[in-house]
Amino acid sequence: MKRANILLFATALTLAGQLAADEKSFPEILDAGIPGTPKLGQPILVTGATKPILTEKHGLAAPALWDWNGDGKRDLLVGEFETNSSDFPMGADGSTIRVYLNVGTDADPKFTDEFEWAQDTEGTIMEVPQWCCIGFTPQFVDLDDDGHLDMITGQYHPGEVTWFRGTGAGFLPSETLPQEGDPTADGNPMFGNYEGEPGDIGTFHYWVYTSASFGDFDDDGDYDLIVGGGDGLRISENIGSPRRPSFAMREPLLTLDGEPLRILDRGEEWEANFPDGELLPPDGDGKSSPLAVDWDDDGVLDLLVTGSYRHPSSHAVTFFRGVKTDDGHRFHPGVDLLPTADGAKALPGSGQRVYVDDWNKDGVKDLIIGASVATVNGGEFSDELSWEWEDVNEVESAGKDPGLYPPRERPTEESEIMVWAKENYTEEEFEAHLKLNQEYWYETVGRLYDEGKAHWLTMRHQGRIYVMMGKQREASPVTADAVPVPADTPKRRSASTASAKPPVTIAFVAPDEVRTGERANLAVSFSMRPGWYIYAPTGRNAPHGMIETSVSLALPEGIESAGPRSLPVHHFKGLYDIYEGSDRAWAQPVEASAAGNYEVTAKVTYQTCKDDLCLPPRTETLRTVLAVVDAGS
């Protein structure tokens, strides 16, 4: 018997040794010293039989515990982002949940490498549309007060919250929670025109990156919706009936000083990057993901909030202690829940999601963390990309995979002729295109060869799950009010109230006057603000779900095309072909045989993105007048 135990132990060691050690070794995470809260142990990587529990495709991972098969043991659920693939056909933007069944005990969960996709009571894979960057984030609450916990997740855009009602024997097919001002209520939200001042309900930022959690924050006996996202951390009061929940306008969650909750302060210099009224995210991040929980056991709901976790000023998890005041539910300023001795990253990767449950059934809450780590060379954990800041290394966030840095040859004249028909350009224009693309190639790809970082070109994100076991904190002599407060309490720097200048402006330009029989150019010219780009119509973007720019001119009778249209120069960005910069013009040569004022319309469809945000596609119709005079006049 003893011998068998030793053998088992040796086997376990061997298996552990096969895992990359660097996703299991952490800098020392200090105790944040918050009275009433669990004292957290160091993170433990959750594994199956031979490898970590993981998510693929885009790497986001949102863990939760739930007894999926009703055997009395909680199983591990991991929400993914854009799960669809060639061998897993779903909705094009579908995200779902991996269910790892617990083969251990409820107090000592164990998992195999196997998982199943979560299915509803009709046997359909549970799926929410997520066309960008937050994934399925399961949370459980009995929203309709029928005695069965329901599963709920937020969504990137148009900011829906999806509700799967619990039955005690699985979850019903999804429905959408009613929300005041829901942009899907009329028209097609994908092409919706948002108008409004920053913070308004009629803006894209109000809705985008809707992460969702629930708690009764106004003490009226129903669950209110807590959201993070483009307009920061907010509450949406439940104004429905207990059986029919419905959610009001989102209002900012506030500190005791009446300031919006803030998880990241990157300083004045960075904030200067939001000129002309472009909205500075009120929480400093724009991708905050809240979990409502009474973390310090004082009977008042608190928030644990994660965000992008790309920048050296970021906290892995920010704790906001809730307090009841005459003004309602307020919060102390955010505190770093996982500080490290030397300010190093507390967790690998980025885009963390947290969940709270008593993992080991010892009566103390534990912290369960999903982290999106970077791998290279086909799935090896990358120490240098996961333990260093993505903003410092200038690599992409999870959600922008796969392979935004594919290995790629330096553009040559031969390769560029394949992309642009050379006969449409002058020799000088073609040389300029080639030079721009070669320079761009060097900055984004070529330099990595010189710097010995060619393996970064194989970067893909994967999800990992960690558990930090909580221990009961010794009773502290300090009062419960002595929550650590950041030395430099972040003050809100309010966004300008000027209307935000759009990231893309389009001009449709005709010459002032042309003569009959004379060739003239009608030009549709795009100008992108720094950091923003649109997609070139090369056919290489559409397979990845991005809308390519299209420009179609309606020439009135009397105006004829006088040659091939010339396109603006594009360059590649990872897997995509994009336009950025100013005055990127489509030019259509035309001529007219009779004098007159001719109105020409241009219909333009495009989608605008920057590295951490994509706006819905837009279609616009522009008009210009071509004034034609007699050649003899």
C-beta closer to Ca ion: residue 358 or 380:
358
C-beta closer to Ca ion: residue 218 or 560:
218
Least distance to Ca ion from the beta carbon of 275, Å?
Answer: 39
The residue count for binding Ca ion (CB under 5 A) is 21
Residue 313: Cβ within 10 Å count: 15
Kindly list the distances between the CA atom of residue 22 and the CA atoms of 256, 273, 373, in Å, as whole numbers in the listed order.
41, 35, 11
Residue 520: Cβ within 10 Å count: 22
Kindly list the distances between the CA atom of residue 475 and the CA atoms of 201, 321, 479, 480, in Å, as whole numbers in the listed order.
45, 18, 10, 10
Which listed range, 148-156, 307-315, 506-514, 615-623, lies at the site for Ca ion (CB under 5 A)?
Answer: 148-156
How far is 211 from 556, CA to CA, in rounded Å? 48
Near Ca ion by CB under 5 A: residue from 112, 119, 184, 360: 360
Near Ca ion by CB under 5 A: residue from 23, 80, 120, 150: 150
Over the window 25 to 64, marking each residue x when it contacts Ca ion by CB under 5 A and - when it does not, the resulting string is ----------------------------------------
Q: How many CA atoms lie within 13 A of 167 on its CB side?
A: 10
603 contributes a contact to Ca ion by CB under 5 A? no
How far is 577 from 536, CA to CA, in rounded Å? 5
Q: Please enumerate in sequence order all residues whose Cβ is within 8 A of that of 190, keeping only pairs 6 or more positions apart, or say none.
A: 158, 616, 617
Near Ca ion by CB under 5 A: residue from 22, 146, 278, 388: 146
Instruction: For the chain, count helices (H), then strands (E).
Output: 8, 41
Structure token digits, residue 403: 């392979």
Near Ca ion by CB under 5 A: residue from 116, 197, 294, 429: 294
Residue 294: Cβ within 10 Å count: 17
DSSP class of residue 444 equals I
C-beta closer to Ca ion: residue 219 or 560:
219
108 contributes a contact to Ca ion by CB under 5 A? no
How far is 224 from 253, CA to CA, in rounded Å? 12
Least distance to Ca ion from the beta carbon of 218, Å?
Answer: 5
Which listed range, 5-13, 144-152, 392-400, 578-586, lies at the site for Ca ion (CB under 5 A)?
Answer: 144-152
Structure token digits, residue 486: 């950041």
Least distance to Ca ion from the beta carbon of 314, Å?
Answer: 23
Least distance to Ca ion from the beta carbon of 237, Å?
Answer: 6
Query: Hey, which residues between 200 and 219 contact Ca ion (CB under 5 A)?
Result: 216, 218
Which listed range, 140-148, 203-211, 226-234, 579-587, lies at the site for Ca ion (CB under 5 A)?
Answer: 140-148
148 contributes a contact to Ca ion by CB under 5 A? yes
Question: Is omega for the bond preceding 89 within 30 degrees of 0, making it cis?
Answer: no
Residue 131: Cβ within 10 Å count: 18
Near Ca ion by CB under 5 A: residue from 82, 265, 283, 302: 302
142 contributes a contact to Ca ion by CB under 5 A? yes
Least distance to Ca ion from the beta carbon of 146, Å?
Answer: 4
Over the window 163 to 182, marking each residue x when it contacts Ca ion by CB under 5 A and - when it does not, the resulting string is ---x----------------
Query: Hey, which residues between 427 and 456 contact Ca ion (CB under 5 A)?
Result: none
DSSP class of residue 136 equals -
Answer yes or no: are the C-beta atoms of 293 and 238 closer than 8 Å. no
Least distance to Ca ion from the beta carbon of 300, Å?
Answer: 4
Near Ca ion by CB under 5 A: residue from 283, 296, 577, 612: 296
Query: Hey, which residues between 220 and 279 contact Ca ion (CB under 5 A)?
Result: 220, 222, 224
134 contributes a contact to Ca ion by CB under 5 A? no
How far is 607 from 207, CA to CA, in rounded Å? 17
How far is 322 from 298, CA to CA, in rounded Å? 9
C-beta closer to Ca ion: residue 150 or 336:
150
Backbone φ, ψ for residue 7 (5° rounding): -60, -45
Burial 373-409 (b: 16+ CB within 10 A, else e): bbbbeeeebbbebbbbbbbeeebbbbbbbbebbeeee
How far is 228 from 159, CA to CA, in rounded Å? 10
Q: How many CA atoms lie within 13 A of 390 on its CB side?
A: 24
Least distance to Ca ion from the beta carbon of 467, Å?
Answer: 9
Near Ca ion by CB under 5 A: residue from 31, 67, 276, 362: 362
Which listed range, 70-78, 92-100, 340-348, 357-365, lies at the site for Ca ion (CB under 5 A)?
Answer: 357-365
C-beta closer to Ca ion: residue 331 or 420:
331
How far is 551 from 557, CA to CA, in rounded Å? 19
Answer yes or no: are the C-beta atoms of 235 and 247 closer than 8 Å. no
380 contributes a contact to Ca ion by CB under 5 A? no
Give contact residues for Ca ion (rule: CB under 5 A): 142, 144, 146, 148, 150, 166, 216, 218, 220, 222, 224, 294, 296, 298, 300, 302, 358, 360, 362, 364, 366
